[in-house]
Structure 1
């Protein structure tokens, strides 16, 4: 009985020991296999850094405004008798647009002109009597005053009559009529908008730090996200104060609108061109990775083998932005080869292979 117990313990020990040995053997073989595996190089796109001619500028967003544009309003109330334009008509300066009922004013003008005629006749009669010595001087003066009063009355009624006929203050394109024939309108009622679209102005604002770069006559470029519109212009005015709330200064530029593709109120992107600078290091913005530790790029370095490449993470100091590029003030030198896309799969020391046939990790839509 005792021998059987001893034999059972020995067999159990052999079985347990074999299981433990097999586990350690298996783990060792797996670790050896994994250690022997070399990860393949990560495909990335790359670019060699070069000193370029930098074209700095000030970017802003603005709103288009016509050089001449007004909402036309009724000068004198009454019934609308005629509307002499249609929407989007090309209007000339002084062209008659709307006729308000003026029968009452015409009657008043006729009465005033008749009174003037009577006053002139009375004045002539008084002058004749005075020359013959049978009229008093005061009578002549009173008659002449009546003539001037009658003329003033005629002018006043004529002005009231003219206000019933609405004309264009300048040439341009007129909008949709806001009134109807037979409608009773009051003073100040807007009846249409008139815009001169041949020349357009753009109002925008820039940070106060850029005030020194704003000069009258400076070149600007405006682009619209609608219709692929682009045009050049010049700065015509700079507000001589900074908004204390936004710390922005207002600027106005003027651009040509020869094709009539730009309309008042449109959203525009504005760029003010600044003098070019030589020898600036600039890289694609997609090459820069920003973290809590700072801004960095991956620079491609030779590996241990002859045909091997690896990357080094280099922290840099960034400067100005222009289009899709950003200035590198410190950390890179001309001739360095940097990763421009694919860096989201890299860690310092990773092996890479350059493949510029495909823009890896490109933003959607590009």
Structure 2
């Protein structure tokens, strides 16, 4: 018996709740619109707060990490063994392409070159003499050909001696900054002994990886912002210079190479870098207060103010497509235009077509989007709810 009474009470409570909900959500708005049932009378303007949409830049970005690298880098090593007689640079010094950096003892090679020159002179004279005799038909053609061959051999010996001599001098292969030398004058070095590293650090290369899903949007020339721990409060600018044509299968990522200007040489190769890559930017993006968004199922809407020309203002429900988000703000990609005003407070008290009266907000101000700054990367925001 008691169980039946409890069941009846539960059914009655559910019915009462359903009836109350039907009245609150269905009948009450209709009665309010008709001026009855205790709601506001017909023509009553509901007080709301509103604000004009803000126009400011917006940027779709993604973050990554990478390492700075020299544009050109080489560890200078001799191709021949020998004793160092001169070191013509200071550590850390800027050197120009073609500058003589290190000289090895070249006495033997110079002597070989002089010997080759003497043999060339002799071969040249012999050839000219044989040529004259041949013109007089006093020697055979074979003798002239032999003299010509000796002349060619002597010429080749000159080139060989000059090449050997050149290897005793190490030149800068490009404009660079010299590193720390690893040898001293008078040291005997073998072939391939590391002598000094050369680094071209203006500009610098920056390699980083982004997920493969960004392949359609990453392009050469896109801007990046770089931060390093050595200069925590500064940002350095660069741009994408190259994109690896092959996707890294291990990490399913796209390898991107950017170029970062370094005119003052503050940045150095090997620094760990945090990268913000700007994938797309919009100079005249539309921003609204996030409190203006009203979820309607899967669709985000706002109440746009419409003037009827007689001094009356109504709130029109306007579907919108959202984009980036900033603290307190949302970008509207579609649905609003510059100059539109939307309800920012009181959206729960009005419906589509409700008369409204705009009242000042307590602070009479709205946070502005960070003009010129890139927003955090995200897909276009879905409707709330």
TM, length-normalised to structure 2: 0.60
Q: Does 1:237 find its partner at 2:280?
A: no
Uncovered stretches (5+) of structure 2, i.e. residues with no partner: 1-52, 288-322, 329-344, 347-373
1:275 is matched with which residue? 281
CA distance in 1, matches of 2:258, 2:202: 14
Asked if structure 1 preserves the Cα contact closer than 8 Å seen for 2:84 and 2:185, the reply is yes
Note the C-alpha offset of 1:230.
2.1
2:188 is matched with which residue? 184
Note the C-alpha offset of 1:176.
0.9
Q: Does 1:76 find its partner at 2:80?
A: yes
2:299 is matched with which residue? none
1:265 is matched with which residue? 270
Note the C-alpha offset of 1:281.
6.5
Note the C-alpha offset of 1:275.
2.4
Note the C-alpha offset of 1:62.
1.2
CA distance in 2, matches of 1:145, 1:73: 37
Secondary structure, aligned partner of 2:215 = helix
Note the C-alpha offset of 1:53.
6.1
1:315 is matched with which residue? none
**Larger Rg belongs to:** 1
1:148 is matched with which residue? 152
2:26 is matched with which residue? none
Q: Does 1:193 find its partner at 2:203?
A: no
CA distance in 2, matches of 1:281, 1:116: 78
CA distance in 1, matches of 2:213, 2:376: 20
TM, length-normalised to structure 1: 0.63
Note the C-alpha offset of 1:250.
0.6
From 329, 351, 354, the equivalent of 2:382 is 329
Q: 1:155/1:281 Cα in 2 relative to 1: closer, same or farther (>3 Å)? A: closer
2:165 is matched with which residue? 161
From 244, 247, 254, the equivalent of 1:249 is 254
1:288 is matched with which residue? none
Q: Does 1:90 find its partner at 2:83?
A: no
CA distance in 2, matches of 1:106, 1:73: 21
CA distance in 1, matches of 2:262, 2:383: 43
CA distance in 2, matches of 1:231, 1:53: 20
Uncovered stretches (5+) of structure 1, i.e. residues with no partner: 1-49, 286-299, 302-320, 333-366
Note the C-alpha offset of 1:168.
0.8
Q: Does 1:212 find its partner at 2:216?
A: yes
Q: 1:216/1:195 Cα in 2 relative to 1: closer, same or farther (>3 Å)? A: same
1:329-351: per-residue Cα shift (whole Å, max 9, x none)? 3437xxxxxxxxxxxxxxxxxxx
Query: Number of residues paired by the alignment?
Result: 251
Asked if structure 2 preserves the Cα contact closer than 8 Å seen for 1:235 and 1:254, the reply is yes
